[in-house]
Structure 1
Amino acid sequence: MVKKDKMNEVPLFETEVGVYTKVLPKIEAKLREFGDQTILAPKLFHYSLQAPRCIVFEDLVVEGYTTINNRHCSLEEVKMALTKLAKMHAISYQMIHRDNNHDLANFNKTFVNTIDLADFPVLGNGIKLIKDVISDQSDLQKFLPHIESVERFLIPKVIDLLNATKNGNQSGVQVLNHGDFHVKNLMVKNDGNKLKDLMVLDYQVSIFGSPAIDLHYAFTMMYSPSMRRERMDELLYYYIINLQETLRKVEFHGHIPTIQEIRAEMQAYRHWGLYLIFTLLYFNYALVDESIEMDKLVESETARRAYYANPKILDELRILLPRFLHLGYFEE
């Protein structure tokens, strides 16, 4: 059972207000300075940090935006989302390195590094769940020793990665991450069959740290199964090129992260990526499955185990687990 009262330990409201009032306006202003009219989030009309707390945004439905329902994102939608993510990452990177704006480091709490995962089995029992599921699959049982080898250190490693900046580790590439970069936090605006714009929503768990935090999350929770199978490198490259182009466009003269450096970040945060696959992969399927009762999936381990045994998910694991083994994801 999820202990919902424990959710108060995560400063969701304060983080979202902080990002909307202190960060996104500066990022968009910098983009405007160089002729880029990209809108990164809906307009914030009003908020109050006093009880009863509230936050009021523009109505995107009135503006012609719709949610993405009962399907995965298209490739065009994912690329537009990655473009906006790259621009946010790029300007936040500049804010740290050129403007010495260290307020971004105050965004340091997301669910996994704040709550006691024992109170949230849906976030804490991913390894147990995947072990149970693949133990019934003769061709996947060979991966059990590898999964068991990471079981003892995976969650502590993940928490250390998410706490890296807070603990004084300033090495590598550092940006403001969205933190919850998935299909249900997007709205799209179409002109006929043509994608006109895409809006990113919900900055409640934004966290400062490696861009790999968002990129691994997008891999698990935004990409379609076919994109994970066939376009992992292509989409990572697409993000990196947009990150680099944004930094050049705003005349940032410091070090611009290279393709190899971003790929190194992905490898350094491999345990975060592995944790997300073990814990959230089935949600990538469930979020587009109109037959699924999401509350039941969150609350019931039996329901999660049954859904994880979905043949489509098992088929994807047959591709992902060998790939992760070959990439060294199971090594400490």
Structure 2
Amino acid sequence: MIKESNVFQRESDVISKIAPRVYDILQKASEDRKKTQPFAAKCIYSQLEYPDVIIVLEDLKEEGFRMAERTEGLDMDHCLLVLRTLAKYHAATAVLYEQDPQLFEPFRENLYNNKLRQDLNNFYEGNINNLLAQIENLPNFQDKFKINLQKLSEAAVDYVIKSYQKQDGDFNVLTHGDLWLNNMMFRYSESTGRVQDIRFVDFQLVNVTSAAFDLHYFLSTSPSPNLLKKHDILIEEYHKTLEETFALLDHKHLHPPIEKLKKELDKKGLFAVIIACTLLPFVLVEHSKVPDIDKVLKNEEGVKFSKKYLETLEKMVPIFEEKGWLDVEKFLKE
């Protein structure tokens, strides 16, 4: 799967070729260059002849960065920092794409494609069926949700392959593609203890496609469950930083209105449901019950759902319902 998808070549290209240029664009436009922080670790060395694939990155722990606690989720300060940084990254990649589209050619091919259908099917359909089995006798999940979940298990792979394609008219950027809290590291103020800096890691699933996918991926996996009803605040902060960054880079014409961004998020809303049903269980799994991902991809093992995951999903379902994101048939027709 790794060889077929070429994910390490993508990661190496992003870190060694695109990240430095994105950083340079932002730094040159900044009034205070010292405040401009890179968004990724530096690539020291790479050798990409399969199977001897090697990528050596700077050790962010030496710079004081550390990971957040996976099962707790991120508080508001962490989430705001993530989305402000993501907005700057998205904006700068959109500007760079306009200036040098050839640079992004390796990322135009959809990473989610028919060559990987069996592996994708094992993950998406397998995990959704696992969820169906584990909530079958739980009264907190209504039959309507279970029926839509059954439809989703049969259609998830087709939907992801189709929807993830770059579509003209969307707010297209170079997405991170795997934006959850284990793929970011934070640095904290020594005096106050508050989070003050971030680096994104693991750029293996990057794609030129809608920014909505990164937003859904992050919001469906990483904020603390007590922020579920504050996602609109986070989206508005992301949009505000986008506007400021495009203005700074003198590319205001690339900035999507907030109404367009929210409409695009709704258009891709089923993706948020898929992530909540397939990836979030791994995020919230108990430390002693983390499954073997190889066995999961072969449909030999399923994740054991934690109490926290089921409680969080129970809170998410009414929100998805209210937004219309559980109408699987509607999304399949679009």
Query: What per-residue deviation string (whole Å, max 9, x for no partner) do you get for residues 128-157 of structure 1?
Result: 122222221124132222323444433211
Distance 1:150 1:50, change over 3 A: closer
Instruction: Tell me the TM-score normalised to structure 1 length.
Output: 0.86
2:116 counterpart SS class:
coil
Segment of structure 1 superposing worse, 174-183 or 321-330: 321-330
Please state how far the C-alpha of 1:105 moved relative to its aligned partner: 4.7
Please state how far the C-alpha of 1:120 moved relative to its aligned partner: 6.2
Distance in 2 (alpha carbons) for counterparts of 1:65 and 1:125: 35
Please state how far the C-alpha of 1:213 moved relative to its aligned partner: 1.1
Please state how far the C-alpha of 1:117 moved relative to its aligned partner: 3.5
2:181 maps to 183
Gapped regions of structure 1 (runs ≥ 5): 1-5
Q: Which has the higher contact order (CA 8 A, sep 6+)?
A: 1
Distance 1:198 1:112, change over 3 A: farther
Distance in 1 (alpha carbons) for counterparts of 2:236 and 2:135: 32
Distance in 2 (alpha carbons) for counterparts of 1:13 and 1:248: 33
Instruction: Tell me the TM-score normalised to structure 2 length.
Output: 0.86
Alignment check: 8 A CA contact 1:11 1:109 kept: no
2:242 counterpart SS class:
helix
Pairwise CA RMSD of aligned residues? 2.5
Residue in structure 1 matching 2:18, options 23, 35, 46: 23
1:157 maps to 159
Distance in 1 (alpha carbons) for counterparts of 2:243 and 2:81: 16
1:116 maps to 117
Distance in 1 (alpha carbons) for counterparts of 2:14 and 2:46: 12
2:126 maps to 125
Distance in 2 (alpha carbons) for counterparts of 1:154 and 1:123: 6
Distance 1:154 1:56, change over 3 A: closer
Aligned length: 317
Distance 1:191 1:118, change over 3 A: closer
Please state how far the C-alpha of 1:27 moved relative to its aligned partner: 0.8
Please state how far the C-alpha of 1:270 moved relative to its aligned partner: 1.4
Alignment check: 8 A CA contact 1:135 1:141 kept: no
In the alignment, structure 1 residue 312 sits paired with structure 2 residue 311: no
Please state how far the C-alpha of 1:111 moved relative to its aligned partner: 5.6
In the alignment, structure 1 residue 144 sits paired with structure 2 residue 146: yes
Distance in 1 (alpha carbons) for counterparts of 2:113 and 2:266: 19
Residue in structure 1 matching 2:287, options 286, 290, 306: 290
Distance in 1 (alpha carbons) for counterparts of 2:28 and 2:218: 29
Letter in 1 for 2:314: R
Task: Map 1:27-42 onto structure 2 (within 5 A).
Answer: 27-35=22-30, 36=33, 37-42=36-41
Distance 1:248 1:283, change over 3 A: same
Alignment check: 8 A CA contact 1:89 1:177 kept: yes
Query: What per-residue deviation string (whole Å, max 9, x for no partner) do you get for residues 275-309 of structure 1?
Result: 111111212212xx43333427964979646x32x
Distance in 2 (alpha carbons) for counterparts of 1:127 and 1:144: 10
